[in-house]
Amino acid sequence: MKWDTLQLIVYGNNFENVEVKSDDSRLKILNSFPTENKSYIFIDVIIPKDLQAGNYNFVFSNGISEKEISFPILDRKHSDDEHNGFSNEDIIYLIFTDRFCDGNPNNNTIGDSLDQFTSEDLDGRKGGDIEGIISKLKYLKDLGVTVLWITPMLENNMYMSYHGYAATDFYKIDPRFGSNELYKKLVEEAHNQGLKIILDHVSNHIGINHYWVKNLPMHDWYNGTPENFIKASHDKMAFLDIHGDSTIVKMNQQGWFTDYMPDLNQRNPFLKNYLIQNTLWWIEFAGIDGIREDTYPYSDQKYLADLAKTILTEYPNFNIVGEIWQGVPAIISGYQSKSPVRLVNFDSNLPTVTDFALTDAIRDFLSGKESIYKVYETIAQDIVYSDPDNLLVFVDNHDVDRAMLLAKGNVDKFKIALNLILFTRGIPQIFYGTEIGIEGGTKHGELRQPFPGGFSDDFQNAFLDNGRTEYENDIFYYVKDLFHLRNQYPSLSKGKLRHIYPFDDIYILIKSYDDEMTMVVINARGEDFSFESLQLKKFLPEANEIVNLKSNTEINLKAVDRFLINKMSAEIFLIRK
């Protein structure tokens, strides 16, 4: 590895006036750093590239007694280029671990866990786990998705912690989800199916029950104290606002989300090293392909830039997406690498950002608040992005109402929304259960409802064709067909986008890649649209024939004056010259 100098944190007692030595001359100790808390000591160690895997020992001596601590060096299982990242060629499927599938009921209740299994409480644990995900990999492969973004699996020994975003141990998979070895097996099994894995990563905060809280390595390990802290301002514009107030930036990046999530201080160089090394360790140990960085604007931006640079230097094919929950394109852009709107000499090194601006536009269309013009208008602002193809596009996720709920059960509108995220620019992401039209509710526990068939007390199994209702199968096969078309035709995924102003709620997307050209026609009107061939030739003068890829119907534009696009629908055509 290029990162060959480690900073180890050692926990014990009375680390005062201590000398540290290695029992192997090849394992060189550069420095040791005792802290004001004598329970910790930091050690800088160089690991030579030719050092064999095995257990090595550090000897700690205070002149009176000695203590030996073993340090394991593991074999590298993956080369740097095996971590394949994700791109606009992919379709990302977001799994909420606790609510997807329970593959091992025996781990639902763990004796010392504060948040216990319950089948009644919406905000309680339901039992989804790693073995459940492994058991459904073939289902996901057949569906047509290519990447799995899985919500955090680290130990969260907290009350109401089923979500996984309040870690209490950075090196341990929560036993209610499985184990470190099972997580590694999940990645291996996914790769065997041709699926990639995104780790949901949280640098911003920890859970209040993390062992650090009771015994801090340093006084400034996190911002404030449980008794005296500032609350996060949630003003994600402040960091980029040229008129912004530094106090608001501080509140945003040093404030606590809640009184049970201490805000980590990544400005502390020792914590910064710990977090970067921990991330590299998970990439190496499990062989993951990408990272989704949670609550991106809330962490120290210099730390995040260094984290991304370190990862991408070590693993050039890797990708990282930052969660920027902000609906203004120029603000979202400011967090992407090489952003044209940055006014200071700073690069985030972050390849991908979440396109909440487009999400808001599509959701406004679904709810009836805006017409499809809002979608066009949002995409027309792509000039502010350094790389529009590296935007994560989605209509819903684990934090907002589901698409079908917004559409009030209007399946046709729902299907249009899916066409929009799949065939515009960027990297599409769908939420588990979208493929069967789960509606959910307005509360977190409702929108994150268990996938039917993933749990022993379910009355149906929507993972199976005969376990889905006619309504669910209609949506399922529609979604599956869209996924497979996107995977089959490169222009639909990575083609250059040209879109046409949505006259009378008819929105046209034209995608080109090499010699292949496709067209998506969206009729967002309440009546059928008769598309004149001459009108189409204005946009595509080279087109002589089009093929409807859903119905496999050929239309000769010289022989046919017009063709029909049904009301509230989207059709996909292959253009033949």
Strongest mean pLDDT among 137-146, 155-164, 551-560: 137-146
520 and 461 within one domain: no
Parallel, antiparallel, or unpaired: how do β-strands 147-150 and 92-95 relate? parallel
Show the domain range for 513.
496-576
- Non-local CB neighbours of 280 within 8 Å, separated by 6+ positions: 1, 3, 310, 311, 314
125 and 39 within one domain: no
| Per-residue pLDDT band at 433 (split at 50, 70, 90) | very high
105 and 42 within one domain: no
Which amino acid type is present at position 238?
Answer: A
Mean pLDDT of 31-38: 92
Q: Judging by beta carbons within 10 Å of its beta carbon (0-12, 13-18, 19+), is residue 517 exposed, middle or buried?
A: buried
pLDDT of amino acid 472: 98
pLDDT digits 0-9 by tens, 162-198 = 899 999 999 999 999 999 999 999 999 999 999 999 9
Mean pLDDT of 288-301: 97
Any idea which of 86-100, 113-127, 486-500 has the lowest mean pLDDT? 113-127
Any idea which of 86-90, 96-100, 118-122, 207-211 has the lowest mean pLDDT? 118-122
Parallel, antiparallel, or unpaired: how do β-strands 196-201 and 290-293 relate? parallel
Average pLDDT, the chain: 95
306 and 237 within one domain: yes
Whether residue 133 is predicted with pLDDT greater than 80 in this model: the reply is yes
Whether residue 343 is predicted with pLDDT greater than 70 in this model: the reply is no
Which amino acid type is present at position 195?
Answer: L
Q: Is the Cβ–Cβ distance between 574 and 538 less than 8 Å?
A: no
541 and 412 within one domain: no
Q: Is the Cβ–Cβ distance between 356 and 326 less than 8 Å?
A: yes
387 and 259 within one domain: yes
CA distance linking residue 332 with residue 325, whole number of Å: 8
Catalytic residue among 129, 200, 284, 294: 294
Parallel, antiparallel, or unpaired: how do β-strands 569-576 and 516-523 relate? antiparallel
**CA quadruple 245, 267, 256, 236: dihedral positive or negative?**
positive
Any idea which of 77-81, 325-329, 348-352, 571-575 has the lowest mean pLDDT? 77-81
Structure tokens at 494: 């990575």
**What percent of the chain is modeled with pLDDT above 70?**
99
Structure tokens at 297: 């604007």
Ramachandran angles phi, psi of 396, nearest 5°: -155, 170
In Å, the largest CA–CA distance within the chain is: 97
pLDDT digits 0-9 by tens, 35-51 = 999 999 999 999 998 89
Q: Is the Cβ–Cβ distance between 431 and 396 less than 8 Å?
A: yes
529 and 509 within one domain: yes
pLDDT digits 0-9 by tens, 256-267 = 999 999 999 999
Q: What is the CATH number of the domain that holds 517?
A: 2.60.40.1180
Q: Is the Cβ–Cβ distance between 41 and 10 less than 8 Å?
A: yes
**Single residue among 451, 467, 488 that ends a domain in this structure:** 488
DSSP alpha helices (H): ranges in 109-260?
130-135, 137-143, 180-192, 211-214, 246-254
Q: How many structural domains compose the chain?
A: 3
Q: Is the Cβ–Cβ distance between 89 and 103 less than 8 Å?
A: no
Q: What is the CATH number of the domain that holds 35?
A: 2.60.40.10
Q: Is the Cβ–Cβ distance between 95 and 132 less than 8 Å?
A: no
Q: What is each CA distance from 387 to 88, 355, 390, 496, in whole angstroms?
A: 11, 12, 6, 12
pLDDT of amino acid 128: 96
Q: Is the Cβ–Cβ distance between 42 and 82 less than 8 Å?
A: no
393 and 264 within one domain: yes
180 DSSP assignment:
H
Structure tokens at 359: 């999400």
220 and 99 within one domain: yes
Mean pLDDT of 78-82: 74
Tell me the CB-side half-sphere exposure of residue 539, using CA atoms within 13 A: 20
**What percent of the chain is modeled with pLDDT above 90?**
85
CA distance linking residue 338 with residue 320, whole number of Å: 15
Whether residue 527 is predicted with pLDDT greater than 70 in this model: the reply is yes
**Any catalytic annotation for residue 323?**
yes
- Quote the pTM value: 0.97
Find, among 8, 5, 10, the residue nearest to 39 by Cα: 10
pLDDT digits 0-9 by tens, 359-384 = 999 999 999 999 999 999 999 999 99
pLDDT of amino acid 9: 95
Pick 153 or 12 by higher pLDDT: 153
pLDDT of amino acid 116: 67
102 and 36 within one domain: no
pLDDT of amino acid 398: 97
Catalytic residue among 90, 131, 293, 323: 323
Find, among 360, 366, 471, 365, the residue nearest to 408 by Cα: 366
| Per-residue pLDDT band at 14 (split at 50, 70, 90) | confident
**Single residue among 73, 98, 114 that ends a domain in this structure:** 73
Which amino acid type is present at position 401?
Answer: D
Any idea which of 33-37, 142-146, 505-509 has the lowest mean pLDDT? 33-37
38 and 100 within one domain: no
**Single residue among 488, 509, 539 that ends a domain in this structure:** 488
191 and 51 within one domain: no
Could you please report the per-residue DSSP string of 303-342?
A: HHHHHHHHHHHH-TT-EEEE------HHHHHTTSTT-TT-
Whether residue 121 is predicted with pLDDT greater than 90 in this model: the reply is no
Q: What is the CATH number of the domain that holds 93?
A: 3.20.20.80
CA distance linking residue 340 with residue 397, whole number of Å: 28
Any idea which of 6-15, 314-323, 428-437 has the lowest mean pLDDT? 6-15
